């Protein structure tokens, strides 16, 4: 099993740890300290060594941060985590802060009306984050101070940094050699008048060099930094223990391997104009470069957009991975429908069986995130992770929300299905149908080039808005190619200003959540592709659905669907049956044939 079910934090641990942090703050002569979720690589998921936010506060969500002052401490979380955070933190020590509605600068201004000094670890915050905070604090009397990480001083049993092996990712799956990628990106730097770029995102480095790592659970990336020169040469900084002869042979001769400790001296020795991504590089990088007099120029990580636009080999790999994963989902969902009526299944049973079904493909490298299996009220916790303490028995009348994915060498999957346990209420069915309508609307849309994710986000929300409902997360995130399941810069979100381009893979996952009662989400992955010309000659794009698995018809109020929505759903189910039927067991095939029939007239 990849997934474990132990509770990794306890709310009761928070108050004494906060007290220890405050003692360190006094010794450091500061009035506050910032504790982000991020590590120095700014990844969404962190190694146990870097999970400082969870260690201090008990909150285990994948996004958020804490601000600790002498008389108060806040845990800043967005709409995905507002139920979860209340269950995981000690309310006498930490207060949930609804972010971004309440900004950190405003919160600090209110909490420190007479000013003060707030410390931060410059390796754990980007320049953009600190610059934005400084602007928000102008005139407040509050200053920011770079300091050593105070959590590391009090975390006496802190796990060691990871040393997972780095392996070669084959060119036939990558679709392009690392030499060609380096030359292409180096030429772009040269054209921009830049001699080098500093790269600190592990998935960018993994993509650029056609390597994968094992430092982060669920994310096949290495902890490493790199400097890309305009001539295409790369210096890779990482722990030498991660490198073997096969990797050296793959990288030789145009990539120099250096230990991680050589990164700072290398930054100081750079000459010419150097590109740094203010949104991803640690604040410390800019301070080191500025201190050395290096000519720094802001610019996006050069790998970000090329990595997002998958080539033909990567798309073909994703298609294969989704067919394989879809067959595993059919085996799982057919098992679930047969087993649930017994009333003895728990959420852990569901997670375990789903992993068994994926493992039976013989190709599963990891799950792509901790499987979410939320029954009844647990389904309303958007990023719920079941533990032995929270594990619920699944009982009739509930909805069961299952969000999961697999990491395969040819692709990364992410799928959510919501299923009824016995007969559920009419209101749940109507809410499910609205979510389905939004998902279908996004699946069917055609749009001109230049359209951004924020332009499309409302399509998935419109049916819910008509009923006065909504959800507090984006409609879709980018997905990597055997990389991180959450990948930028593309998103389907109100805040996404990135134009969608062919080859980008995104999730399409509207939902609806009623705290204390149920959660609903339906998710397919989609890829942007050219749309056929309908006669006007205007270049248009569309989405192709990659995910293949039945959508539970028992929850659909068919009369709420338009003719076009029915047509889309019936065609999708026909495709699911056609592509997956030959790949599953006889019993699952019989079940699949039944659940993919057209909706009744």
Tokens of 104: 């950190």
Q: Given phi > 0 = left and psi -120 to 50 = alpha, else beta, which region is 241?
A: alpha
**CATH number of the domain located at residue range(s) 11-154 in this protein:** 3.40.350.10
Report the DSSP beta bridge partners of residue 506: 478, 526
pLDDT digit string, tens, across residues 161-216: 999 999 999 999 999 999 999 999 999 999 999 999 999 999 999 999 999 999 99
Which option is the CATH number for 309-595: 3.90.230.10, 1.10.3720.10, 2.40.50.100, 3.30.465.10? 3.90.230.10
Give residue 43's pLDDT. 80
Using 50, 70 and 90 to split pLDDT, how confident is the model at 53? Answer: very high
Q: How far apart are CA 63 and CA 57, in angstroms?
A: 13
N-to-C CA span, the chain: 44
What pLDDT is recorded for position 26?
98
The stretches of 103-242 forming alpha helices (DSSP H) are 104-111, 127-136, 150-154, 171-174, 178-191, 202-209
The owner of tokens 């539970």 is: 552
**Fold: same for 11-154 and 167-307:** yes
User: What is the pLDDT, as a whole number, of residue 5?
Assistant: 95
Element spanning 34, H or E: strand 32-36
Alpha-carbon distance of 75 to 130, in angstroms, equals: 18
Q: What is the largest CA-CA distance in the chain?
A: 73
Residue for token digits 């067991």? 585
Residue 342 has pLDDT above 90, yes or no: no
Strands 255-258 and 234-237: parallel
The structural domains of the chain, with segments of one domain joined by +, span 11-154, 167-307, 309-595
Separation CA 259–CA 267 (nearest Å): 13
CA distance 562 to 228: 52
pLDDT value at 15 more than 90: yes
Q: How far apart are CA 118 and CA 502, in angstroms?
A: 44
Please tell me the predicted confidence (pLDDT) of residue 80: 86
Indicate if the pLDDT at residue 44 is higher than 90: no
User: What are the tokens at 331?
Assistant: 């085996």
Among the residue ranges 8-12, 69-73, 266-270, 372-376, the one predicted with the least confidence is 8-12
Are 404 and 367 in contact by the 8 Å Cβ rule? The answer is: yes
**Token pair of 486, please?**
């959450």
What pLDDT does 486 receive?
96
Query: Which class is 167-307 in CATH?
Result: alpha beta
């Amino acid at each position: 099993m990849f997934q474990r079910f132990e509770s990794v934090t306890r709310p009761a641990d928070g108050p004494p740890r906060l007290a220890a942090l405050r003692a360190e703050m006094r010794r450091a002569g500061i009035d506050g300290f910032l504790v982000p979720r991020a590590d120095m690589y700014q990844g969404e998921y962190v190694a146990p060594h870097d999970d400082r936010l969870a260690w201090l506060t008990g909150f285990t969500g994948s996004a958020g941060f804490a601000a600790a002052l002498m008389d108060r401490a806040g845990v800043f979380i967005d709409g995905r985590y507002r139920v979860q955070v209340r269950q995981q933190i000690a309310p006498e020590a930490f207060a949930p802060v609804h972010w971004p509605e309440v900004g950190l600068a405003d919160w600090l201004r209110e909490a420190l009306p007479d000013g003060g000094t707030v410390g931060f670890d410059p390796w754990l915050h980007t320049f953009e984050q600190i610059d934005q905070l400084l602007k928000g604090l102008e005139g407040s009397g509050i200053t920011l101070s770079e300091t050593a990480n105070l959590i590391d001083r009090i975390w006496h049993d802190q796990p060691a940094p990871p040393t997972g092996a780095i392996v070669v990712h084959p060119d036939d799956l990558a679709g392009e050699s690392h030499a060609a990628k380096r030359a292409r990106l180096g030429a772009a730097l040269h054209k921009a008048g830049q001699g080098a770029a500093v790269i600190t995102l592990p998935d960018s480095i993994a993509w650029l060099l056609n390597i994968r790592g094992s430092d982060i659970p669920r994310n096949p990336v290495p902890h490493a930094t790199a400097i890309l020169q305009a001539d295409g040469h790369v210096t890779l900084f990482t722990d030498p223990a991660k490198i073997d002869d096969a990797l050296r042979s793959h990288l030789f001769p145009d990539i120099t391997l250096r230990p991680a400790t050589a990164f700072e001296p290398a930054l100081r020795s750079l000459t010419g104009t150097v590109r740094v991504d203010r949104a991803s590089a640690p604040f410390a990088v800019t301070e080191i470069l500025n201190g050395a007099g290096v000519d720094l120029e802001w610019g996006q990580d050069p790998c970000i957009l090329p990595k997002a636009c998958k080539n033909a080999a990567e798309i073909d790999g994703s298609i294969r991975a989704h067919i394989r994963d879809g067959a595993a989902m059919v085996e799982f969902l057919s098992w679930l429908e047969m087993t649930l009526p017994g009333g003895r299944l728990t959420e852990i049973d569901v997670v375990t069986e789903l992993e068994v079904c994926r493992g039976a493909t013989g190709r599963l490298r990891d799950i792509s995130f901790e499987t979410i299996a939320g029954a009844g009220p647990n389904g309303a916790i958007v990023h719920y992770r079941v533990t032995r303490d929270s594990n619920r028995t699944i009982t009739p009348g509930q909805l069961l929300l299952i969000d999961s994915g697999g990491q395969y060498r040819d692709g990364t999957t992410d799928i959510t299905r919501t299923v009824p346990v016995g007969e559920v209420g009419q209101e749940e069915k109507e809410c499910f149908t609205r979510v389905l309508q939004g998902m279908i609307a996004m699946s069917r849309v055609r749009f001109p080039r230049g359209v951004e994710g924020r332009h499309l986000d409302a399509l998935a929300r419109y049916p819910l808005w008509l009923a006065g409902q909504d959800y507090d997360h984006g409609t879709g995130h980018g997905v990597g190619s055997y990389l991180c399941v959450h990948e930028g810069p593309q998103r389907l979100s109100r805040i996404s200003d990135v134009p969608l381009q062919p080859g980008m893979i995104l999730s399409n996952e509207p939902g609806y959540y009623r705290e204390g009662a149920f959660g609903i989400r339906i998710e397919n992955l989609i890829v942007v592709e050219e749309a056929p010309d309908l006669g006007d000659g205007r270049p248009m794009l569309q989405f192709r659905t990659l995910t293949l698995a039945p959508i539970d018809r028992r929850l659909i109020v068919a009369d709420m669907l338009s003719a076009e929505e029915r047509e889309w759903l019936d065609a999708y189910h026909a495709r699911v049956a056609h592509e997956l039927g030959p790949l599953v067991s006889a019993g699952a095939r019989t079940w699949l044939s039944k659940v993919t029939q057209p909706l009744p007239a």
